[in-house]
Amino acid sequence: MKIVTVIGARPQFIKAAVVSRAIANTEGVEEVIVHTGQHFDTNMSDVFFEEMSIPRPQYNLNINGLGHGAMTGQMLEKIEEVLIKEKPDWVLVYGDTNSTIAGALAAKKLHIKVAHVEAGLRSFNIDMPEEVNRILTDRISDVLFCPTTTAVNNLQKEGYDNIDCEVKEVGDVMQDAALFYAGKSKKPETELPSVFALCTVHRAENTDDPERLKSIFLALEEISKDTPVVLPLHPRTKGKLSAMGYDFENSNICFIDPVGYLEMVWLLSNCKFVLTDSGGLQKEAYFFSKPCITMRDETEWVELVEHGFNTLAGADKDKIIELASRINDTNLDFSLRLYGNGDAGQVIVNSLRLK
Ligand code: UDP
């Protein structure tokens, strides 16, 4: 059986590392990796391939730095060429990026079966590019591997019982990654405060809205006076802040370059709490028993909010500061297994092999 895996962005490298390891452990399954190039610089791409031992991509499409239309269009064209040549049994796509929808669409038009890992998630905010990508990818996938019961329920509500596809709850590959890589964590080489909050900001709804971005960074500056905020800075956010004339020199925030996953795991293990607008990091905070403040108006990971592990603050400066000041009071039981047992990768591969 031949699988073509299409990946291109940071969270997909982590998810693919888990599934590629399961594929390598499974007889009779061959994997061909296509890297679209959506994230391409060393800190956002190469380091993940090296430290997580992801097999080298057979195809590097090098498509980046473009608007949504041009990026997705070029990916569609190039992935189609690869699929015509490779003739796989399955195309495997992850998450909700432009690489995800391009891979699924190219395959489907060639009548190649599509498996979507992290299917069924919804923010119910259709203005997010990720929401559009995930809804469309789900609709044309043959197998929808859901990480949570919430995701399965979302699909049922959308009528997937009447659609010719298989919906399967398998757990979350990010849980697999957290368990597998926890013991391999690496302290970043940069000097860091001994007590700190870990923060990431990169989502378009925050970076591309100057009011939201300003409000978030005013809150982070304020919080840093009490608990230093360590922030691996995404290139998109760096660009937007620089354009706003952000005073990096006199900032209280401890900005560092984007880090590899092993360093991220170290930061997660050693921080006091997490502030983020990332999907993946909300769950990782939970995997590493840290409370999380999410700087978005909604989340796909509603079970974290329901159980009190995560609180939504939007881009509301006062709310972010207030939640951070109360974070000590939280007394949470992180022993629930909301995202499976850490075997999602193998379950996915076994299930594809049996088809
Ligand atoms: N991540 C990382 N280094 C960083 C920032 C994030 O390894 O400097 C990891 C993070 O731990 C998570 C994944 O990248 O596993 C999430 O990526 P991102 O926030 O870009 O995307 P999202 O999860 O929101 O789709």
Å from CA of 159 to ligand 1 middle: 31
Mean pLDDT of 139-168: 98
Å from CA of 230 to ligand 1 middle: 14
Å from CA of 133 to ligand 1 middle: 18
Whether 4 has a pLDDT exceeding 80, the answer reads yes
Q: Minimal CA–CA distance to 197: which of 281, 280, 287? A: 281
Does 202 qualify as catalytic in the annotation? yes
- DSSP character string of 38-101: SS-STTTTHHHHHHTTPPPPSEE----SS-HHHHHHHHHHHHHHHHHHH--SEEEEETTSHHHH
Q: Which of 39, 202, 234, 307 is catalytic?
A: 202
User: What pLDDT was estimated at residue 284?
Assistant: 98
Whether 329 has a pLDDT exceeding 70, the answer reads no
Whether 242 has a pLDDT exceeding 70, the answer reads yes
Sign of the Cα torsion 145, 175, 9, 36 reads: negative
CA 126 to chain centre: 18
Mean pLDDT of 152-167: 98
Whether 8 has a pLDDT exceeding 90, the answer reads yes
Q: Minimal CA–CA distance to 293: which of 268, 274, 270? A: 274
Mean pLDDT of 221-237: 97
Amino acid at 305: V
User: What pLDDT was estimated at residue 263?
Assistant: 97
Residue nearest to atom 7 of ligand 1 (CA): 261
Å from CA of 280 to ligand 1 middle: 6
pLDDT in tens, 168-199: 999 999 999 999 999 999 999 999 999 999 99
In this structure, the number of other CB atoms found within 10 A of the CB of residue 340 comes to 18
What φ, ψ does residue 227 adopt, rounded to 5°?
A: -120, 110
| C-beta of 278 in contact with ligand 1 (< 6 A) | yes
Residue nearest to atom 14 of ligand 1 (CA): 11
Mean pLDDT of 25-40: 95
Mean pLDDT of 47-66: 94
What φ, ψ does residue 258 adopt, rounded to 5°?
A: -55, 145
Whether 100 has a pLDDT exceeding 90, the answer reads yes
Q: Minimal CA–CA distance to 45: which of 190, 199, 235? A: 235
d(Cα 268, Cα 284) in Å, to the nearest integer? 7
Whether 343 has a pLDDT exceeding 70, the answer reads yes
In this structure, the number of other CB atoms found within 10 A of the CB of residue 244 comes to 12
Sign of the Cα torsion 161, 98, 298, 201 reads: positive
User: What would the two tokens of residue 213 be?
Assistant: 């971005």
The minimum-distance atom of ligand 1 relative to the CA of 278 is 24
**Residue 138, helix vs strand vs coil:** helix
Average per-residue pLDDT for the chain: 96
Q: Minimal CA–CA distance to 164: which of 137, 139, 147? A: 139
Mean pLDDT of 206-212: 97
pLDDT in tens, 312-323: 999 999 999 999
Mean pLDDT of 31-59: 93
Does the pTM of the predicted model rise above 0.85?
yes
